[in-house]
């Protein structure tokens, strides 16, 4: 078979020539080596000649032709750019067609890797280390605030303006806590994508002012004056000894979270050593060690009464505060909040607020060391000495502080009773 005739030589192809040429043949471009325009006449007389871009190249000792595309769909400028790219592939010992297919496949994968897809991959990766509440919180933020805006956009195409649009909407609604959570999630998802080479850089890590969220301190309403606390304790004394009411008394005495107290179990309570040990639910995914709550004598009195009528299995395991409606379950933390509001209607207080009451009054009126108070509240200590305090736990000091606080509550109760008698 005779060899293909060499493309007709020209100094340079031009747009005018490309439009006008109809003579069949191969017309070489004088700018990019190997690039030429192939003109073919149609078998049907009424149809114009067809024009195709081709590029000759040699790879691994063999001559090949790469089909770039049809003219005028691909103009002169674009044909030269594509030919130069193909020559770079050849220089890297890759056939241009193979490189093109790889690029198309990568583009297809990029289109499939939407933010929604990557977010699901990230959640699947993170879920073993997350408690169900945290996982539900992440999903809620994703579905309610993030995915409606950028869920269908490939992660590689997400711009800073996409993210600032979401954050700005939340800031205008003054939901700063959610704005902060959303920013954290977007950063984490894009960081997950960056680690796998799906994005060149994590645009959510920008220091632009639009992504900065001022910290808004929110606090639970709490009793802050000792005299008010004394009067509140007298109202607690008027209640019977039900599970809910006993839990209400203990929550004022023990600086724990309401959700932790209602899930107290007998197997975690030692009435001899006078302590209660449990894994803190809020940081369960970070720290599996048990938090120790020293039990003052006043708390032991209440727990011993409950122990007499406890409901446990053969191993002695069971809830301390059994629900009166569902015996197999503990009471609900919302029951505490509603009961507190019922006996103290003139002030807005919450069950969680008694931790603030303890932290404030115990420091200001009893002079208890703030570090002891923070460890009693199961807070993680910041700074370089945080890990040292976390290991030491300062249990003797915390036990002394627990008894000191319980005794102080008794004094407030007595003072309030005397004040009523004098009135």
What count of other Cβ atoms lies within 10 Å of the Cβ of residue 135?
15
Query: What average pLDDT does the segment 228-252 reach?
Result: 92
- DSSP conformation letters of 303-349: HHHHHHT----TTS--BSSB-SS-TTSBPPHHHHHHHHHHH-TTS--
**Number of other residues whose CB lies within 10 A of the CB of residue 330:** 20
Q: What is the mean pLDDT of residues 274-288?
A: 71
Cβ neighbours of residue 143 closer than 8 Å, sequence gap 6 or more: none
Q: Which residues lie closer than 8 Å to 225 by C-beta, 6 or more apart?
A: none
CATH of 15-109, one of 3.40.50.620, 3.30.160.390, 3.30.230.10, 3.20.20.120: 3.30.160.390
Contacts of the segment 12-20: beta carbons below 8 A, 24+ positions apart: 13/37, 13/76, 14/76, 15/75, 15/76, 18/51, 18/71, 18/72, 18/76, 19/72
According to CATH, the topology of domain 226-422 is hpI Integrase; Chain A (1.10.443)
Beta-carbon contacts of 176 under 8 Å, excluding residues fewer than 6 positions away, are 170, 213, 214, 215, 216
CA pair distance 299, 246, nearest whole angstrom: 10
Q: Is 56 helix (H, G, I), strand (E, B) or coil?
A: strand
Which residue in this structure is represented by tokens 């939407």? 114
CATH assignment of 115-211? Answer: 1.10.150.130
pLDDT tens, position by position, 366-378: 999 988 988 898 8
The domain locations on the chain are: 15-109, 115-211, 226-422
Question: Tell me: the pLDDT tens digits for 2-34?
Answer: 455 555 445 688 888 888 888 899 999 888 888
Helices 226-237, 395-422: axis angle to 10 degrees equals 80
Predicted local distance difference test score (pLDDT) of residue 379: 79
Smallest CA-to-CA distance from 119 within 81, 158, 80, 160 is with 158
User: CA 238, CA 42: separation in Å to the nearest integer?
Assistant: 103
Angle at 421 between CA 417 and CA 422, to 5 degrees: 120
Query: Tokens in use for 142?
Result: 């994703």
pLDDT at 243: 87
Res 292 pLDDT > 80:
yes
């Amino acid at each position: 078979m005779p060899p293909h005739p060499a493309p007709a030589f020209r100094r340079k192809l031009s747009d005018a020539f490309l439009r006008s040429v109809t003579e069949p043949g191969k017309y070489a471009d004088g700018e990019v080596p190997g690039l030429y325009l192939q003109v073919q006449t149609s078998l049907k007389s009424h149809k114009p000649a067809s024009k195709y871009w081709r590029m000759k190249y040699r790879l691994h000792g063999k001559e090949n032709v790469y089909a770039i595309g049809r003219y005028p769909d691909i103009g002169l400028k674009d044909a030269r750019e594509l030919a130069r790219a193909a020559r770079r592939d050849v220089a890297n010992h890759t056939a241009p067609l193979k490189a093109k297919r790889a690029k198309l496949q990568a583009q297809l994968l990029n289109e499939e890797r939407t933010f929604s897809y990557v977010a699901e991959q990230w959640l699947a990766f993170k879920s073993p280390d997350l408690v169900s509440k945290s996982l539900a919180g992440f999903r809620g933020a994703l579905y309610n605030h993030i995915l409606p805006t950028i869920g269908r956009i490939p992660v590689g195409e997400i711009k800073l303006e996409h993210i600032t649009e979401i954050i700005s909407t939340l800031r205008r609604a003054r939901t700063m806590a959610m704005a902060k959570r959303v920013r954290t999630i977007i950063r984490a998802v894009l960081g997950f994508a960056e680690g796998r080479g799906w994005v060149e850089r994590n645009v959510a890590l920008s220091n632009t002012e639009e992504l900065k969220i001022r910290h808004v301190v929110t606090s639970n309403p709490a009793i802050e004056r000792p005299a008010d606390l004394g009067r509140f304790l007298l109202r607690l004394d008027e209640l019977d000894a039900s599970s809910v009411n006993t839990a209400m008394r203990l929550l004022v005495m023990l600086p724990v979270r309401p959700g932790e107290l209602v899930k107290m179990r007998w197997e975690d309570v030692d009435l001899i050593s006078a302590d209660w040990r449990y894994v803190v639910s809020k940081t369960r995914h970070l720290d599996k060690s048990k938090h120790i709550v020293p039990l003052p004598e006043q708390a032991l009195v209440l727990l011993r009464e409950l122990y007499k009528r406890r409901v446990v299995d053969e191993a002695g395991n069971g809830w301390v505060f059994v629900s009166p409606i569902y015996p197999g379950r503990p009471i609900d933390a919302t029951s505490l909040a509603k009961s507190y509001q019922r006996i103290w209607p003139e002030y807005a207080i919450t069950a969680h607020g008694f931790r603030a009451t303890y932290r404030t009054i115990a420091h200001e009126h009893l002079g208890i060391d703030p570090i002891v108070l923070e460890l009693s509240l199961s807070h993680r200590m910041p700074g370089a000495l945080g890990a040292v305090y976390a290991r030491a736990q300062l249990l003797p000091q915390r036990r002394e502080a627990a008894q000191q606080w319980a005794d102080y509550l008794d004094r407030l109760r007595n003072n309030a009773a005397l004040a009523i008698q004098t009135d």
